[in-house]
Structure 1
């Protein structure tokens, strides 16, 4: 019997720079998710929106949000994934948290900070990938602008699921759609993109387009509305297609420097 995994993507508007309001909103949304869901994925900076003013957020809010994620993961018996503002001494990070129901946690700091918005001047960039294992699947989680850089997304580890959490604006949404599908095809992995909707505090508009693609680039879920999207991932789908189409075996071998 093939291993399967049920995932939920929460596509929603966000309250600008309001961690308390956003946690309350996601509390309500996660409560409606069925008990058979294994993984719940939230957008980038899901408690604040994509703000370049992290000093406006109380420094205790990051810890409160992680505690909330731990609580929800245990209650829902599901992994919770999303990025928030995290602070270490005088440095701010756009940090993704992968929280499991047994209390296990791992973090990824956004590698490609978005220079067009000045993110590189506000948030320190990350240097390390993480591959997380959960219920028979391996996950490679990334953040928004990382999507534009295929070398960083490259499937050198034979991961099963590539995840992007994002605040991707309407004016460049065609790139989001195209690159999500391309990342699935070139890496022969499920590719999951979770974007927000609505307008942020700087009046940038976000159209959603959260989606799930299988290893052949076929869409399993897509929405432009405030919505919770669902998809079932199959280990057999990954293994059978990689066995039949041995594209990953022909990868160029190289290492990243710097």
Structure 2
């Protein structure tokens, strides 16, 4: 598909309240027309909570079922992260739900140690590239944005996608790194951040965005909103052909970290 519509959902997440958040998203998305992808923030049904024992779900839980129902209803992929338990371990897991119900997953690699995320969640060790409607997407989560080696475009993806709860004290970092990731990877960069204040008192200024491969960005501002963008496959690949930066990228192999193989 040459042109694709991506819908970004920037919301004030109701702290640790699954039912209220799912109701809110259903209302926010009720009037969304034809789109191909709907992207929700990191931990979109709880906020960035360090209480997985209370909030965890399984892959057949109510929030995953809600995503599947939405994907089927809108005939669009639905993406976002939530707290999932698998084999007795909690993960901050990105789910990409296809309209027909198939799901692909990415578990957050870089856990935010300054908040103790590494003490409550298990890290992932595999990147994911999703193929959808002829496009290639690389989904990542929040703190991953700070690590350019992990997000480096070695898989020839077309869109790199970050879902986040990125707080206001480092808001300028969020905006600058989204632009950097788009430029260095010659890819569209999608960033979906929350707004409002969480249960710990942290404030979030939103500024979800679509950044094009040349680094030109459209930022939301801080209010709750749903906004759709159209991206062009032809424009992306014509730019790469005209200015083939990726052909000169360095080759490397990631080694082990935290006793888990990254390759």
Q: Check the 8 A contact 1:19/1:61 in 2, yes or no.
A: no
Q: Name the counterpart of 2:168.
A: 170
Cα–Cα, structure 1 residues 198 and 62, in superposed 2: closer, same or farther, change >3 Å? farther
Q: Give CA deviations for 1:188-219 in whole Å, capped at 9, x if unaligned.
A: 00000000000000000000010000000012
Give yes or no for the alignment of 1:7 onto 2:6: yes
- Work out the number of aligned pairs and report it: 256
Per-residue deviation, 1:221? 4.7
Aligned match of 1:186 in 174, 178, 184?
184
Give yes or no for the alignment of 1:232 onto 2:230: yes
Pairwise mapping of residues 9-158 of structure 1 onto structure 2 (< 5 A)? 9-34=8-33, 36-57=34-55, 59=57, 63-158=61-156
Pairwise mapping of residues 237-252 of structure 1 onto structure 2 (< 5 A)? 237-252=235-250
Cα–Cα, structure 1 residues 77 and 221, in superposed 2: closer, same or farther, change >3 Å? farther
Q: Check the 8 A contact 1:184/1:217 in 2, yes or no.
A: yes
Q: Name the counterpart of 1:203.
A: 201
Question: Could you tell which deviates more after superposition, 227-236 or 41-50?
Answer: 227-236
Per-residue deviation, 1:91? 1.2
Q: Name the counterpart of 1:212.
A: 210
Which contiguous aligned blocks of 4+ residues in structure 1 show a shift greater than 4 angstroms? 58-62
The runs of 5 or more residues in structure 2 that have no matched partner are 257-263
Q: Give CA deviations for 1:28-72 in whole Å, capped at 9, x if unaligned.
A: 1121211x2110000000000000011122646971111110110
CA–CA distance in structure 2, aligned partners of residues 75 and 124 of structure 1: 32
Q: Check the 8 A contact 1:11/1:226 in 2, yes or no.
A: yes
Per-residue deviation, 1:89? 3.7
Cα–Cα, structure 1 residues 224 and 248, in superposed 2: closer, same or farther, change >3 Å? same
Q: Check the 8 A contact 2:42/2:80 in 1, yes or no.
A: yes
CA–CA distance in structure 2, aligned partners of residues 189 and 61 of structure 1: 30
Q: Give CA deviations for 1:91-141 in whole Å, capped at 9, x if unaligned.
A: 110000000101111000000000000001100000001100111211000
Q: Could you say what secondary structure the match of 2:215 adopts?
A: coil
Instruction: Quote the RMSD (CA, aligned, Å).
Output: 1.3
Q: Could you say what secondary structure the match of 1:240 adopts?
A: helix
Give me the TM-score of the superposition, normalised by structure 2.
Answer: 0.94
Q: Check the 8 A contact 2:56/2:84 in 1, yes or no.
A: no
CA–CA distance in structure 1, aligned partners of residues 56 and 121 of structure 2: 16
CA–CA distance in structure 2, aligned partners of residues 192 and 81 of structure 1: 12
